[in-house]
Structure 1
Amino acid sequence: MAVQEYEIADDLLAFIDAAPSPWHAAAIMAAQLEAMGFEELREDEAWTLAPGRGYFVRRGGASLIAFRVGRDPAASGLRIIGAHTDSPGFRMRPEGSTAGEPSAALGVEIYGGPIIATFADRDLTLAGRVWCRGQHGEPVPLLYAGDRPLVRLPNLAIHLNRGVNEDGLKFQLQDQLGMVFSDRANNGLTPFLAEELGHDPGAVLGWELALTDTQPGTRFGADGEYIANGQIDNLASCHAGLCALVQEAPAEGVTLLACFDHEEVGSESHRGAAGTFLPATVERILAATDAAAGREAIFARSWVVSADMAHAWNPNFPQAYDQRHAPRVNGGPVIKLNAKQRYASDGEGEIYFRHACERAGVPVQRYVHRNDLPCGSTIGPITAARLGIRTVDVGGAMWAMHSARESAGALDPAYLVSAFRACLSEV
């Protein structure tokens, strides 16, 4: 049953397992792009671009833009897929530990909007980048991912929290989120990281570390028709966009994948979608292909597909949805609509993406939020405003968004890749 489609789901799960932080995600995408013949560019160097070639550039270690250049970029414009590399959860504080009894507890900050209770009693580890002193004293970022469970947020026994099943599991956000780490007398995080990386403690200058679950991704269900993993939101969109980009070379225009960090905290950073990374990269592409003079006309012929995951109908909580606009897992890509422009989709965008799905032979769905619930947002409205390019917000349907362990349909990753390929094939 749907063997090829499930292979793409399995590849997605492997991708997520190998990318426990935004920095790892960008590094893995860079390695895969290089293996497919894409050339890495640097922002602090001049660019020379050749038709038919693929390129990519990174900013801040966690954001990446990859693109292919066709014969005549001015002829049919740009086709851009946007996504984000970060996921909600916890980040380590600069002072890594606080004295606790009986163990040292690592101090954390809440990153984005995680479902905090889902991180309790799980085998968590640390992942991200650690800044160390290089050979000549310069700061060098090193990727780090703990290869075993390192920390835990232990729950309180029901005997001490009798109302937990009626009232829900709640943590006091400042005082009850200490992550149990070590009984060592020298229990600081710096000596531990130095030992893990093979450096002296004095060489560790700082870190940007996230907490991540160690349980590998899996398929579940009677026929393995569902998937479960952390960070499906939004590494599933990064993975689908990457697969589509490397498979679909443009004949004339430019195809581009932009994966940003910091979406979960508002995108307002130099490597976020609200920064200059995408506009500056697009301008450099146009300049290097002698298409800058026709910038406005090119933008008028262009499209952005903002890819972020969508809320699937949950049969246990039907009251959370507008029943006429509640997509199902394994039902195909979802067009996300919101009259207040929390999503950038409009009628023209909906038609554009529907036609792409029709050409790809995949089903398509729509999602509209309830009027009495505040609607989340994504990079779509930000990108549309910054670039002035028509934008449609889409995504794959999923359950338990922002949980430590999210789930989705095993058919939907392949549907999303096919739809994105159809969008990119227009130029």
Structure 2
Amino acid sequence: MTDRAQDLAAFVTASPTPYHAVAEGVRRLRAAGFTEQVESAEFDPTPGGRYLIRDGTLLAWRQGAAPSPLRIFAAHTDSPTLKVKPRPDTGAGGWRQVGVEIYGGALWNSWLDRDLGLAGRLALYDGSLVPVLVDRPLLRVPQLAIHLDRQVNQGLELDAQRHMLPIWGLGAAREGDLVEFLAAEVGVDPGEVAAHDLVVFDLTPPARLGRDRELLACPRLDNLASVHAGLDALTGADADGTTPVFVGFDHEEIGSGSATGAAGPLLETLLTRLAGGFDVRDRIFAGSRCLSVDVTHAAHPNYLERHDPDHRSIPNGGPTLKVNANQRYATDAPGAAAWQRACRAAGVPTQVFVGKNTVPCGTTVGPITATRLGIRTVDVGIPVLSMHSARELCGVDDPAHLAAAGRAFLADPT
């Protein structure tokens, strides 16, 4: 595996939730000399590397002595999963189960018959937050045997309320059972747990795949592959004449409409400060650019009819420029030229993705940030198969390609 792909695998493994992704990102930023800007404290205008965190969102930047055009690398920290309900203890037929909701557009069937861990955080009555990571087999969503559903291979139908409940033991359900278990795991008094944010995650580790081991099978590539590349790009960018910024938003998979999502105020507030204030920011914003980075669809060999025949992307062909006439992606010609220039400067191959006219297109944080900020934005991402599955697939060369192109984009003063 290439060094960057190996490091991506380590990053993903350390990041089963957005909170863990932020913590791992902070660890890497500190190692690179970045210091924290506390959100509630006075803004520090002195030159240097800074980072700011709020829950599952991370912002980081390098500021100079005076405002300069902003170069933004925007990604998101969340992935489709199963989120534990506030009152999780349930069960039937002699089985203990955990109540969950579907978070985002998950491929439900990909979560069946997998060994699952549990991660997130506990909120205590004193206001403190305690990280949770149970990284051993704890949960499983069992599939019905074919003997009890002979038509299953002609069409699997899953009900989110009835069929997606994980089992985690035998016996009658008891209120407070899961919280008591987790409190014991992290060493707190269960009576002090006021609330929780918890999700399940697949325990199968990342692995190389293929005849020449040129592929990486990995959970949460959407979109930790982009977060990983963005942190690499920021810490490695040789910026002179630009202000490079990284943001990893939470809640993209559910529409970004939250205090820590792309539709919220966090990024705008930071960029306004970096531009010198609201009254003078227009000039800086006008010369700024944003790279919206999210994975894109690799051409699926079993379903080629779902792809535009002239705009297919293949793993290890380089990160892909994403274009949509209806602005589901924010790319326009000047933005595309800036991306092509960055790839040429970095010596990185690139591809172009356009969805088939008869297949609805997804979207990213790109159109949201472009609309909110008025900053020219271009959408890109590495191609993956099985997007939104519990386990996705990319090429081992593309993480390094994306990081290199990201560094060039952040440092480009043109």
* Fold shared by both chains (TM-score > 0.5): yes
Q: Displacement of 1:184 after TM fit? A: 5.3
Task: Output the CA distance in 2 between the equivalents of 1:344 and 1:326.
Answer: 19
> Are 1:176 and 2:172 matched, yes or no?
no
Q: What is aligned with 2:382?
A: 396
Secondary structure in 2 aligned to 1:174? coil
TM-superposed CA distance for 1:185, in Å, is 5.4
Tell whether the 8 Å contact from 1:217 to 1:230 is kept in structure 2 after alignment. yes
For residue 138 of structure 2, the aligned residue among 126, 141, 150 is: 150
Indicate conservation of the 8 Å contact 1:307/1:395, yes or no. Answer: yes
* CA root-mean-square deviation: 1.3
Paired residues of 1:194 and 1:203 also in contact (CA < 8 A): no
Matched, 1:267 2:265: no
> What is the alpha-carbon distance in structure 2 between the residues aligned to residue 26 and residue 193 of structure 1?
21
Q: Would you say 1:321 and 2:310 are equivalent positions?
A: no
Contact 2:96 2:173 in 1 (8 A): no
Gaps of 5+ in 1: none
Name the counterpart of 1:162. Answer: 150
For residues 72 and 194 of structure 1, what CA distance do their matches in structure 2 show? Answer: 48
Question: How far is 1:317 from its partner?
Answer: 1.1
1:334 to 313, 317, 320: 320
Matches of 2:140 and 2:112, distance apart in 1: 7
In structure 2, distance between residues paired with 1:264 and 1:102: 35
Residue 36 (1) aligns with residue 22 (2)? no
Given residue 242 of structure 2, which amino acid in structure 1 is its aligned partner? G
Q: Is the 8 A contact 1:131 1:140 kept in 2?
A: yes
Q: TM-score, normalised by structure 2?
A: 0.97
For 1:383, the equivalent position in structure 2 comes to: 369
1:233 and 2:252 are equivalent in the alignment? no
Q: Does 1:86 align with 2:75?
A: no
Match of 1:95 in 2: 87
Contact kept in structure 2, 1:126 and 1:210, CA below 8 Å: yes
Q: Which residue of 2 aligns with 1:220?
A: 209
Among 101, 108, 133, which residue is 2:100 paired with? Answer: 108
Structure 1 runs of 4+ aligned residues shifted over 4 Å read 184-187
In structure 2, what is the Cα distance between the partners aligned to 1:72 and 1:390? 22
Does the 8 A contact of 2:342 with 2:412 survive in 1? Answer: no
One-letter identity of the residue aligned with 2:51: F
**Distance in 1 of aligned mates of 2:97 and 2:336:** 49
Q: 1:22 aligns with which of 18, 33, 40?
A: 18
- For 1:357 and 1:186, how far apart are their aligned partners in 2? 56
Alpha-carbon offset, residue 73 of structure 1: 2.4
Question: Do structure 1's residue 48 and structure 2's residue 37 form an aligned pair?
Answer: no
| Residue 7 (structure 2) aligns with | 11
Opposite residue 360 of structure 1, the aligned amino acid is A
- Secondary structure of the 2:138 match is coil
Q: Displacement, 1:284?
A: 2.0
Counterpart position of 1:255: 244
Report the alpha carbon displacement of residue 292 of structure 1 after superposing the two structures with TM.
Answer: 5.6
**Paired residue for 1:121?**
113
Mapped to 2, the partners of 1:125 and 1:171 lie a distance apart of 22
> What is the number of equivalent residue pairs in this alignment?
411
Distance, in Å, in 1 between the alignment partners of 2:164 and 2:315 is 33
Q: Which residue of 2 aligns with 1:139?
A: 127
Q: State how far apart, in whole Å, the 2-side matches of 1:309 and 1:115 are.
A: 16
Contact 1:71 1:252 in 2 (8 A): no
Gaps of 5+ in 2: none
Q: 1:307 to 1:347 in 2, by over 3 A?
A: same
SS in 1 for 2:339: helix
8 Å Cα contact 1:84/1:261 also seen in 2: yes
Q: Percent identity?
A: 44
8 Å Cα contact 2:106/2:389 also seen in 1: yes
Distance in 2 between residues matched to 1:88 and 1:186, nearest whole Å: 27
Code of the residue aligned with 2:141 in structure 1: it is: L
CA distance in 2, matches of 1:374, 1:215: 31
Residue 245 of structure 1: aligned partner? 234
Taking the TM superposition and a 5 Å limit, the aligned residue runs for 1:38-77 are: 38-51=34-47, 53-59=48-54, 61-74=55-68, 77=69
TM-score (norm 1): 0.94
